[in-house]
Chain A
């Protein structure tokens, strides 16, 4: 049964393979309520597959997922959609649906078969578009929007779905820097208000800045799971991504930041790290934060 104290998501030993290729190989993922968990990892690590498995889109072959304490596979599909919303990486569209019509679809799981949306649903959809700053697209058809604009409309739909858990697959991949900040800031605010969010994120700097916890995937397995400081280290970045990197405190934002130096496989370095500069930055950030912050 749905339990009030169990974690929002507790996935254990999830496995999924296609033609003997293990896309997920015994993955554990736990998200406490009101946590923003970032899933990071190189291309093909299994980030999207993991999100699809947790959202019941994909029938995983082994392991278990519990959603607010209830076994995912025992919940009716409609109930899952009431609890959990997924923002897809590539926002699909059918020509002709307007942005508002799509956002309003977020209300479907809450409606009975003989029901159509009422004024309350209209209001929820309008509010969701306001939050995601997509109001100006209201009556435009989806095919006239850019990829990034469309993705924001899909986020608006997920908000209108009023879920307990929000799953986002590369929510910032198609967005300009302004909207990357705005969208992740919005998710952060929603999480601070009690929502649970799990997002696959490529941009490690953004992941470190906005997420409470990170899970690093590689080859369908969890490499490390912990705070950004625990997960993002020069060693893990080299082993999982094959990249030589240096980490430091961003002197302006105070969050963990990454300087990418070169591929680790002996390719020519694009820029030699300036050790003095890193130390200096770390020192400045430490002063700013009023605490010692030794990274690495």
Chain B
């Protein structure tokens, strides 16, 4: 108890530091954590590989000359575990920063990355790809269909909100709720009328979110989109701070509100769409990570967004590692696990910090 009080008072001092100092300290701490969790995760699995070997193999993968290791160890790391962990990190990062952005834009603590229909659209795209058997024909059909579905849903929701000229965030929110419900119904209908049990199983697996057998192809699809969106969101974090105080406020402080909002929405939707395309729907990362960090670090998005990026990466890598190991040789689904662990933790956090939970 007293230890936690000490930590809290330290953090209070932390909040009074300049933004650049806060970022330097926070990011280096989290970066060390990402690397540590990543290395441990790479070493664990059906083939146990010592952490020392893992480090050398990763270094050799980026072209540094190192002692030779067993061919199996090298293959397991390079072709199976490393791409999987990188996809996991990218997905965690995307969902956490998109969540932080949406909560700020909507000034609503319940806003999650899928709030403008992206996740539901991605799900429909994936379900269509599986139900029509396209996934059997070419291997990237699933991520491509999911991504297209996600973006189409986001455009639809935005289109509904702007039609007639009176755009408001409230309409956008409600259009998102309606489109989410509708797309969910379409997915249910397809599942109900699906004759093929194998496809049904595949769909349920996809909907539960997972990172199994993710390859460098997946990294290549999602990586650039997620990193690009992250850069945009980081550069606009200051404008998001002002938007959180209201449109008039932001405008009087020199923010071009309409354009800024569209760019922020688009970047968050793109990151989420890319994440959904390669991992299915992984629940709760976009809520639990930004909220926890906001409680600790305050609402300044210039700190919150980069820290959420790394925090989300750590969370998803951890959850995926546990999901891989918990019922060996079978696998648990990471999307189920994030909600399974994330939700109780989040509830605990809410109860302990009722007064400070930001209503935004």
- Which A residues are within 8 Å of any B CB, using their own CB? 52, 55-57, 76-82, 85-86, 88, 92-98, 100-101, 105, 108-109, 111, 113-114, 116-118, 122, 139, 161
Contacts and interface: CB of A to CB of B under 8 A. Distances in A.
Contact of B358 (A86, A96, A100): A96
A16 to B, nearest CB: 14
Contacts, number: 77
Interface string B336-360: 0000000000000000000010111
B253 A117 contact: no
A94 B245 contact: yes
B251 A56 contact: yes
Nearest to B104: A94
Contacts of A100: 16
19 contacts: A52-B248, A55-B252, A56-B252, A76-B254, A82-B254, A88-B248, A93-B245, A94-B244, A94-B245, A94-B299, A96-B294, A96-B356, A97-B300, A100-B16, A105-B241, A105-B253, A108-B242, A122-B18, A161-B253
A122 B20 CA distance: 13
Contact of A95 (B20, B238, B255, B360): B360
Contact of B254 (A77, A88, A92, A101): A77
Nearest to A80: B254
B248 A96 contact: no
Contacts of A85: 252
Interface of B: 12, 15-16, 18-20, 107, 235, 238, 241-242, 244-246, 248-249, 251-256, 294, 298-300, 302, 356, 358-360
Nearest to A85: B252
Contact of A116 (B20, B235, B242, B255): B20
B18 A108 contact: no
Nearest to B255: A77
A96 B15 CA distance: 11
B297 to A, nearest CB: 9
A98 B241 CA distance: 13
B359 A108 contact: no
Contacts of A108: 238, 242, 253-254
A85 B249 CA distance: 10
B25 to A, nearest CB: 14
Contacts of B356: 95-96
Given A52-B248, A105-B241, A97 B299 contact: yes
Nearest to A122: B18
A85 B12 CA distance: 30
Given A88-B248, A92-B246, A108-B238, A117 B18 contact: yes
Contacts of A118: 18
Contacts of B302: 116
A253 B235 CA distance: 53
A161 B18 CA distance: 18
Contacts of A76: 254
Nearest to A79: B254
Contacts of A88: 248-249, 252
A57 B12 CA distance: 35
Nearest to A94: B244
Contacts of B238: 108, 111, 113
A210 B302 CA distance: 40
Given A95-B360, A108-B242, A117-B19, A57 B298 contact: no
A258 to B, nearest CB: 32
Nearest to A158: B252
Contacts of B18: 116-118, 122
Given A57-B248, A78-B254, A108-B254, A96 B242 contact: no
Given A56-B252, A78-B254, A95-B359, 18 more contacts: A52-B248, A55-B252, A57-B248, A77-B254, A81-B253, A86-B252, A92-B245, A92-B246, A94-B107, A94-B245, A94-B299, A96-B298, A97-B298, A101-B300, A105-B241, A109-B254, A122-B18, A139-B12
Contacts of B20: 116
B107 to A, nearest CB: 7
A122 B16 CA distance: 11
Q: Which 3 A-B pairs have the closest CB atoms?
A: A81-B254, A96-B299, A78-B254
A222 to B, nearest CB: 23
Contacts of A139: 12, 15-16
A79 B300 CA distance: 24
Nearest to B254: A81
